[in-house]
Every structure is written in structure tokens, then in C-alpha cells.
Structure 1
Amino acid sequence: MQDVYDVTIIGGGPAGLYSAFYSGLRGLKTKLIESQDQLGGKVLLYPEKLIWDIGGHPPILGEQFVKQLIAQAKTFDPTILTGTKVDYIERQEDNFVIHTALGDKHYSKTILLAVGGGIINPQKLTLEGAEKYEMTNLHYTVQSYQRFVDKEIIISGGGNAALDWAVELSPIAKNVTIVYRKETLSAHEATIKEALAAGVQIECNTTITKLSANTDKTAIQLVTCENSKTKQSYTRQIDEVIVSHGYNREASLTFEESMTIPKKDNYYYEGKATGETTQPGIFAAGDILSFEGKIHLLLGTFQDAANAVNSVKTYLEPTAYRNAVVSSHNEMFKEKNRSIIEKQLVHSN
């Protein structure tokens, strides 16, 4: 017998995670499907960066923020699948059928798209043998600052991410050098000034041309770079190599032909601030949704998610209230509130 969910959320970043929480709050049977092995979306790329722009929330590290989002998403025990890429969605009678790359089928009354910018994979260094160093000292993201203490670091890339990492690492590293293939950096001018003020060495028209291993062939010891204008090259000893060449974006799913949704810039789904798309039963939240007045910040993501879930609720139950009861008066939280207050009283005594 088919197990049919009220709503299936596709995407496990901030939009998807908050949607899972809010759909539970609204009493919906909920499933969340994420293509990556971990929940958290793009925030996982910057685990040690501080997030400041969430209303009423003190600055928080990306890693901790993701942990809290996941814990919140699990409040009402949704079904969560990771490492599961959605390939194709079709409509059959009253339900949607979700086909995955694993060959599985999932059934749902509604779909909530929260796939952000799609499945993102870093553009890798195109040098022979580079992949063997990915387990040691060749990095495409910075997971922990601690390993870079007192290290000689070279960063390939000239965008905001590359410069941000250079600024963050310069106070703890022995030395940080940026190499960029073009004449001028593409990062914001303020970020470039900050990097220069922090003592970051910047070399434009320069690319990494060779990686040389240490004696046991496990890690990079020497990096050779070449200036495309002067044709001069140099080799220097290095401890860590960071590559920030941007990301390849892979669209995470397709629909049957009759379910086409208009797109902006050939990717983002056009819809309403209420999370509705042109297809009945398909809703969206977060970066994937485009509408007039869109706020491309985390705080906007949460409003998107709440609006989309409220639209799902009234689509399934037309007589339901448009909005959920606020948490301070919501019956769903009475027992949870009591338990939290009792624990606080115990700790205070």
C-alpha cells in the first residue's frame, strides 16, 4: 500500500528545514528529501563564518546554526531522507509521484520545492593528480580554521569567497597569498581593501600550474605558479591550498511536460509571495522562488517557508485558517513549553 504524505519538501537547506518545522506545526504529515548526505544546504560551505542578519538572534557560527535548524526541523518528527536525489516528478490522479535516482518512488498530495540554487559542486583544480590531495591539504571549502594555524596558505580565486577566507585566515596563518588568473579581482572593493589591510599578498594574472607532493606522496609540499603576462613562474613551499573557483550548479529535478512552471533566468521558479506556483499543489520557498519584493536573505527564507506551508495547508484544507496560531498560544507547544520550564526551574535551584 502506498504511503502518501500531505507534503513532501525537496531540499534540506534552511528553507526546507524551516518548512519541515512549520508543516509539523500545522499538523501536516511531512517528508523531506535532500540530495546531499548532510542537511544544511549552502550554509555548510561556511561552517565557521558568523551569521549576523537573523532578527533577534546573536551572531552564530554557520555550523551551530545548521545544528539548531535541524533540531527545530525534527520537532514534529517528519520523515527525513538524505543522500536521495529527486530526478522526476509526475502527477497521477490526486497525488504526485516523486522518482529518485535510487529508483524509489514517493507519493505526496503536495510538493514544496526548497532546492535553493540547485545541487552545487565546486569547480575543481584541473591539474593532473590534484584529486589525490583532496583528503589532505587541497581544499574546496574551509571546514575548520584550526588546521590553518601558523600555516603557509595559497588561495586560488578572486571572488568574494576567496577574499573572505583570506581575511578570516590571515590573523592565524603564517602567510596567505591569493593568486588569480585575471587582471583584476572580482570581489567587492571593500573586501579587497580589507584583505590588503590584513596583509594578504595578492598576485593577479597568476595561476597554479603544478602541485608537487611531499616525500610520502600524501600531501602537497610545493606549488608552482605562472604569471600569464610575464610568462615567469616560481615554485614555493606551501602547507595548505584552497581553491575557490565558484560552483557548478546542477538542476535537481524535472517535471512531466504538463507540469511546466515559468522560470526566471532559466532556473528560478516564478511564483507568489504566498509560495504558490502556477501548478496547483506545487509550492516553493527560499532561493528557488522568484517574486516581486523577494528578500534574498535567511530572514526572507523563513517567511517564504511559513507562507508556503500555510498555502499547502489551505490547499489541502480550504476551511483551515490561513495562518498558524502563534507559538505563545499554540496548543502544539503546551506540553513542550511545560517540559522546558520545568528543566529551567530545576537548573535554577
Structure 2
Amino acid sequence: MGAFKVLEKYDVTIIGGGPAGLFSSFYSGLRGLKTKIIECQSELGGKVLLYPEKMIWDVGGQPPILGEAFAKQIVAQGLTFEPTVCTNTKVELIQKDENNDFIITTNDGMKHYSKSIILAIGGGIIEPKRLDIAGAEKYEGKNLHYTVKSLKQFHNKTVLISGGGDAAIDCAVELLDIAKKVIIVYRKKECRAHEAQVDKLIKGNAKFIMNTTISSLVGNEDDTAIKQVVLKNILSGITQRVEIDQVIVQHGYNQDVSFNVAEDLTLEKKDDYFYKGDAFGCTTQEGIFAAGDILTYDGKINLLAGTFQDAVNAVNSVKNYLDPNAAKVAMVSSHNEAFEEKNKEMIATMLGS
């Protein structure tokens, strides 16, 4: 008779490895909870990874920092207490067992067991909306981009940006002093982005082509890159060809919460996506908590600063859900015994230098 393997059960499983999930992981470790992170992408960091060269200014106590560096820092912090991490893993189903704990089934057929869950999936699985144009995929990774990993490739180039939301306009502003020419194409008559950013583009002599969409792409002689973009005015039907060096498409992201919830775990949602809860990270389902953009409540702040507060509140709620006699909040970090040895090591290193 073979040995019987007892599957591990975690105090909390965090679904999502972006800033909300990572800070939840850090704080759950601080509160002595056995923690697992499940992330569908190949690496931790979340949506910040899409903007490695974007400057982040609005994190308290953190001087301005590039997205790439910030992502590394938040990942390192999230792994402080050595949680179990599953990347390239997509949650497909959440159920409850006979003990009122959770069974989380993932795309690889594995079942993960947890006493509680924190949803930290933000805007869902990061999947940019792509051009619905035949043959467009062959230019991806060449001069057709859905994310901007480096600004250097746009230096002194004619760059066409399709989209009129905040992401598209912010990208265009960043390219004003880098690209030779910036062209913004948008299907409506006015951009949806913040007017201050739009004004920067106007003052920077960016070209706007409104009520217009991309109808086709024209390749170079060996069809290895886009040479021209064919634009169509949706009001007049008139088309025009524009010579370009680079094309950036910023049409938003497809939202996918990445899992189904069993019928007896129906959660109340807002706009068929975001979960309605409260400022303590509680959802309408006992044992399931949430942090970051996926959670809505009165007074919600959709900034990194708000994400960190959400994470702390969600973890504190988890701790009290699992142990009603536990303190409502963790001891402050400067006095917390969890850092005693780490503080000694850091002080010794500083004195040694």
C-alpha cells in the first residue's frame, strides 16, 4: 500500500501577484499566517510590469521611482516571509468543502486548499485588446506594440498611437521629447484622458486624427515591419495612408477575473466585474476577502496608496476571521518581533560599512 500524501492547507491564499497581492503577502507574513500566492502570469509584479519606464510619484515615503524598479521592490517585500508562490497558474474554480474551507482548482488540474482567500486580481488578467485586423499579429514584437517596455526604440521615430484613454495619452506625452513625431488616432471626436495631459500634447505639437480608426496595415518590401497605416474616418468613410516607424495600440484590456465561483459562493458584483465589499476588505461571502482595484466600497481610493491600505485591512480581517481572539491589527513594524533578527543583520551591515 503506497504512502498517503496529505495536501497542505494554507491559512490564506492570495489570488493575484500585483501590488495588492504582494503587500497582502507581506502583511499576512507579519501576522504569522501561512500564505500562498497564485498568479496567472509568469512573474510577480502585476500591471506595473507593463510600464517599466513610467515614473511613479504617488507612493508615500518613496521618492520618484521607475516602474521596473518599483516592481522589483514590491516583489522583494512580498516575499519577505517566504510564502509559497505559484506562477503561470490560473484559478478556474473556487468551492467550499465540508469544513467550510476552500478548494481552489487551477488550470493545471491541481487543487489548492485554504482556510481563507484574498482576491487581489485588480483589473483581471493582463491581456491587451489587440487590433482586429488580418495579419496584424505578424508585426507584433517588431514595430507593432501593445505595451511599451522601453522608450529607446522610439527615439527620433514617427510614432502612431491608437487610443484616446489615459494609457494612450500618457504614453504619447512620454514620447513627446523622444519621438520625432507623435500622431494620436482615436475613434471619437474627443479624447477621454485627463485634459491636462491632452493640453501637453497640443502644446507639444502632437498630431490628432479624430473620428478615425486603423483599417489596415501596409508592410515594407519583405513584410517584416509596418511601413504605412491606412486610416478610415468613421463619419465620412474617407481613407488616408500615413507613413510611420512605430505603432502603439492602447485600446484597454480584456477583463477576466480568471475563475468561476461555485453556485453556493455567489459574490455580489458591480458592473459584472468588481466585487462589492467594505473598507475592511470583506466581501459578501464569509472567508473571501479582497484588496486593490477588484474591491469597491464607499470612499475607495484607486491608487497604490489605497491598495496598501486595502491589503492591511484585508489581512487583519483574515486574521480575525481565523482567530476571533487575535488583535485587530498587527504590532507596528519597528517593535514587531518578526523583524528582530532582520533588523540586527541590517544594523550590523551598516556598522560594518
TM-score, normalised on structure 1?
A: 0.95
- C-alpha displacement of 1:91: 0.5
Cα distance, 1:182 vs. partner?
Answer: 2.1
The one-letter amino acid of 1:142's match is: V
Question: Which residue, 84, 97, 109 being the options, matches 1:92?
Answer: 97
Deviation digits for residues 13-69 of structure 1 (CA, Å, limit 9, x no counterpart):
111000011111111110000112222222222221111111111111111111100
Counterpart of 2:180 (choices 174, 180, 185) is 174
2:82 is matched with which residue: 53, 74, 77?
77
**Cα displacement (A) at 1:229:** 4.0
Offset of 1:265 from its aligned partner? 2.3
Q: What letter matches 1:173 in structure 2? A: A
Alignment of 1:286-297 (within 5 A): 286-297=292-303
2: CA distance, partners of 1:229 / 1:271: 43
Displacement after TM superposition at 1:230 (Å)? 4.6
**Alpha carbons of structure 1 residues 229 and 283: separation in structure 2 relative to 1, 3 Å:** closer
Deviation at 1:93, TM superposition (A): 2.0
Distance across 2 between alignment mates of 1:277 and 1:122: 28
- 2:291 maps to what in 1? 285
1:56 corresponds to: 61
Alignment-mate amino acid for residue 66 of structure 2: L
Cα deviation, 1:179-207, whole Å, max 9, x if unaligned, reads 11222222222221111111211111222
- Mark the runs of 5 or more structure 2 residues left unpaired by the alignment: 1-5
Tell me the SS of whatever aligns to 2:105.
strand
Tell me by how many angstroms 1:87 deviates.
0.8
Between 234-243 and 146-155, the greater mean CA deviation after superposition:
234-243
Aligned residue for 1:308, secondary structure, equals helix
SS where residue 300 of structure 1 aligns? helix
Aligned length: 347
Helix, strand or coil: the match of 2:115?
strand
Cα shift at 1:76? 0.6
Whole-angstrom distance in 2 between the partners of 1:116 and 1:229: 36
Structure 1 stretches lacking a partner, 5+ long: none
Work out which of the residue numbers 13, 37, 41 in structure 1 matches 2:46. 41
- C-alpha RMSD over aligned residues: 1.5
Q: Distance in 1 between matches of 2:235 and 2:193?
A: 21
2:319, 2:175 → 1: CA distance? Answer: 46
CA distance in 2 between partners of 1:268 and 1:226 (Å): 35
Superposed, which structure 2 residues align to 1:187-226 within 5 Å?
Answer: 187-226=193-232
How do 1:1-349 residues align onto structure 2 when only pairs under 5 Å count? 1-94=6-99, 95-347=101-353
Q: What one-letter code is carried by the residue in structure 2 that aligns with 1:249? A: Q
Letter in 2 for 1:224: V
Measured in 2, the distance between the counterparts of 1:56 and 1:10 equals: 27
Matches of 2:188 and 2:301, distance apart in 1: 32
Alpha-carbon distance between aligned partners in 1 of 2:239 and 2:298, rounded to the nearest angstrom: 50
- The verdict on how the C-alpha distance between 1:232 and 1:77 changes in structure 2, with shifts beyond 3 A counting, is same
In 2, the alpha carbon distance for the partners of 1:263 and 1:182 equals 29
Give the distance between the partners of 1:263 and 1:224, measured in 2 at CA.
Answer: 40
Deviation string 1:213-239 (CA, Å, 9 cap, x unpaired) is 223322112222233345443323321
Quote the Cα distance in structure 1 between the aligned partners of 2:195 and 2:158. Answer: 25
Partner of 1:150: helix, strand, or coil? coil
- Match of 1:211, SS state, is strand
Q: Give CA-to-partner distance per residue, 1:228-276, whole Å, 9 cap, x none.
A: 3454433233211001112221122222111122222222222221112
Mapped partners of 2:64, 2:150: distance in 1: 18
Task: Please state how far the C-alpha of 1:2 moved relative to its aligned partner.
Answer: 1.3
Q: Taking structure 2 as the reference length, what is the TM-score of the superposition? A: 0.94
Amino acid at match of 1:297: L
